[in-house]
Every structure is written in C-alpha cells, then in structure tokens.
C-alpha cells in the first residue's frame, strides 16, 4: 500500500509540474488495490470458486466486449489486442490457480480444461499473443507442480521480466545488432518502434519528472501519426519513463518486485504461488509491448490474481474460541 500510495503521489507531483492528467494513473492504482483486496478476501474464503469464477468472467468479457476482441478495425496498427491478450492470460492463470487449490479430481480436471479453453478462445478471436500467453502460463503452471523450492522459480520470473524490458529499451535505443533488430521489428511493427524511440527521447529530455502523465500523445510526433491516435507509447516501462521520469519507472518496477516478494513469502502452495507469478510475469511481458495496463479490467485482474495467491488460508486464521459461559448454579473455579 505504501508503494501504491507513492505511485499516486508521484503522478500528482509530475502532473502539477507539467499540467498533466493523472486520472488514468490514479484509476489504475485504485483498480489494482481493489482487485488485490478482493482477491485476498475471496482467496481465503473460496480458494477454488473465486479464481475459477474470475477465469470465467475474463472469458465472458472478451466474448461480449467488442473493444477487447481482436478485429481488423482495432488491431491495425496497434489497437486493443494487448488488452485481449492480457485478459485471456489472466483468465488462464486464475483457472490454473483454482485447479491447484481444488481437492476433487473431477473439479481439478474441469479447471484444467477451462485453462486450456482460454488458449482456444484466444485463437478463436485471432489473438496470437493471447495464445502464446495462455500457453506459457499453462505450461509454467504444470511445471510449477514439480518444483519444491519456490525461490528459484520466483527469481527466474524476475529475470525473465527484466530481460524483456531490457530488450524493449535496447530496441528503442537502437542498441541491438542489425539482424536481431530487423527480425523483431517485423512483428512489433515499425510504428511501435517509432513510438518507443519517441518515449525514450522524451525520457532523456526530462529524466526526473518526464513530460507529465497522460501527455505523451500531446508531444510525440509518432503518436500523432497513428490512425486513430491513442496517445500511448505501447510500452508500460517506456510510458512511465517518458511521462513520470526515472522515479515513476522505478516505482513501477518496485511494485512488480514487491508482488514477487509477497508471492515468495505467501503461505499458499508453491504450485499456486508460481502459477500466479508466471501469470503476472506474462502480463508484464505483454504490457512491455502494448498498452494493456491502460484498461481497468486488466489492472483489476492483475490485483485479483496477486491477492488470491497471497491470501492466508482460513484454516490458519487466528480466531480464538470464545470462553464458555457457566450455566446458572455452576460455581466458578479460580
């Protein structure tokens, strides 16, 4: 909560310095906090039903919300495909967490099938990143069931997230060799790379405060050339650096690091913890190359998965048995 409060406070500071619009950041912080609180409560009371219902809700959201389903109108050149991939990946992770928490074999099998169904849904709506994200979460979850020490798994997830973020920054800075850079630029699209370079340039102009939250689209030439323009650099880390400086980027990294630390310290099973960690790492990868975190549903889902995986099981509560009241006529023994 201290880190989330610092994120909110810093967005207000940078907005005041550059007449920015901090509403999006504040809404995202509120969504994450609400999702985490709901996940902690529901994860303690209903460790199987709550994440299972969340997975079904994610699938229903993709199926019924036109803005989240991939289509030619909204996927070119960038569109909402990042949000679609993120919601489906979170749904797969929630289903896997519920499967590991289930005790009945039939229920566990049904939840595994639900997790596999998210990848099928991603393929049906034409979201290739969604298919990859769901498959990565499902395979990671199956592997997590064989791991005895969660520390190595959590460290590996942190390294993976840092590696993808570093690669994105290297592409933006033009630091990669010509061959790998050309191979990555194809699927990422030239326009996205230009957005990243603009964001990196803006971060260099004012490394401390950035240009102000919500103002990237106002000052970026590449963002103005998009049809229709959405004013996003389509990279969470680069957006934080461009709009809120190195402090904002450091706060975003600190929040992700704290989530991994909380998962490492969680009292839930290692399989549930590593599944949630893999899900959030996959979300971090998607957010590194898209505007997925700009959607409230994604922020709520991320908080929910983290809350479920860090919830304290109800059996380990500290509730005390109320003292017995002596019946009338009984004598109290000191």
Is residue 61 within 8 Å of residue 91, measured between CB atoms? no
pLDDT at 328: 45
pLDDT recorded at residue 185: 87
User: Is residue 200 very low, low, confident or very high in pLDDT (cuts 50, 70, 90)?
Assistant: very high
Q: Which of 69-73, 84-88, 237-241 has the lowest mean pLDDT?
A: 69-73
**What is the per-residue pLDDT for 119?**
95
Tens digits of residue pLDDT in 136-157: 999 999 999 999 889 999 999 9
12-55 pLDDT, tens digit per residue, is 999 999 889 999 999 999 999 999 999 999 999 999 999 999 99
Find the distance separating the first CA and the last CA of the chain, reported in whole Å. Answer: 46
The average pLDDT across 265-285 equals 97
| pLDDT for 69 beyond 60 | no
| pTM to 2 decimal places | 0.90
User: Any idea where the domains of the chain sit in the sequence?
Assistant: 2-313
Checking if the pLDDT of 297 tops 80, the result is yes
pLDDT at 115 over 90: yes
Q: What is the pLDDT of residue 73?
A: 37
3-state secondary structure the chain: CHHHHHHHHHHHHHHHHHCCCCHHHHHHHHHHHHHHHHHHHHHHHCCCHHHHHHHHHHHHHHHHCCCCCCCHHHHCCCCCHHHHHHHHHHHHHHHHHHHHHCCCHHHHHHHHHHHHHHHHHHHHCCCHHHHHHHHHHHHHHHHHCCCCCHHHHHHHHHHHHHHHHHHHHHHHHCCCCHHHHHHHHHHHCHHHHHHHHHHHHHHHHCCCCCCCCCCHHHHCHHHHCCCCCCCCCCCHHHHHHHHHHHHHHHHHHHHHHHHHHHHHHCCCCHHHHHHHHHHHHHHHHHHHCCCHHHCHHHHHHHHHHHHHHHCCCHHHCCCCCCCCCCCCCCCCCC
How confident is the prediction for the chain on average, in pLDDT?
A: 88
230 against 288, higher pLDDT: 288
Q: Which residues contact 150 (CB under 8 A, 6 or more apart)?
A: 263, 264, 270, 273, 274
């Amino acid at each position: 909560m201290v880190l989330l409060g610092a994120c909110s406070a810093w967005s207000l500071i940078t907005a005041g310095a550059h007449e920015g619009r901090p509403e999006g950041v504040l809404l995202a912080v509120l969504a994450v906090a609400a999702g985490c609180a709901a996940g902690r409560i529901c994860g303690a009371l209903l460790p199987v039903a709550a994440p299972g219902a969340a997975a079904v809700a994610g699938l229903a959201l993709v199926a019924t919300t036109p803005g989240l389903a991939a289509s030619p109108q909204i996927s070119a050149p960038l569109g909402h495909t990042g949000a679609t991939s993120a919601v489906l990946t979170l749904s797969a992770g929630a289903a896997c967490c519920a499967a590991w928490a289930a005790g009945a074999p039939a229920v566990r099998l049904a939840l595994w099938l639900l997790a596999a169904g998210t990848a099928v849904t991603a393929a049906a709506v034409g979201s290739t990143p969604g298919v990859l994200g769901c498959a990565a979460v499902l395979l990671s979850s199956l592997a997590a069931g064989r791991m005895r020490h969660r520390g190595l798994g959590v460290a590996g997830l942190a390294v993976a997230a840092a590696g993808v973020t570093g690669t994105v920054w290297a592409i933006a800075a033009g630091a990669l060799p010509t061959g790998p850079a050309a191979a990555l630029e194809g699927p990422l699209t030239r326009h996205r790379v230009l957005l990243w370079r603009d964001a990196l340039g803006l971060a260099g102009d004012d490394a401390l405060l950035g240009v102000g939250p919500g103002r990237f689209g106002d000052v970026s030439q590449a963002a103005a050339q998009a049809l229709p323009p959405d004013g996003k650099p389509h990279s969470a880390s680069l957006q934080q650096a461009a709009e809120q400086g190195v402090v904002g980027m450091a706060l975003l990294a600190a929040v992700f690091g704290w989530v991994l630390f909380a998962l490492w310290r969680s009292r839930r099973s290692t399989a549930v913890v590593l599944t949630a960690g893999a899900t959030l790492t996959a979300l971090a990868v998607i957010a590194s190359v898209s505007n997925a975190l700009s959607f409230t549903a994604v922020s709520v889902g991320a908080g929910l998965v983290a809350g479920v995986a860090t919830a304290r099981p109800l059996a380990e509560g500290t509730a005390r048995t109320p003292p017995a009241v002596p019946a009338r006529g009984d004598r109290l023994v000191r």
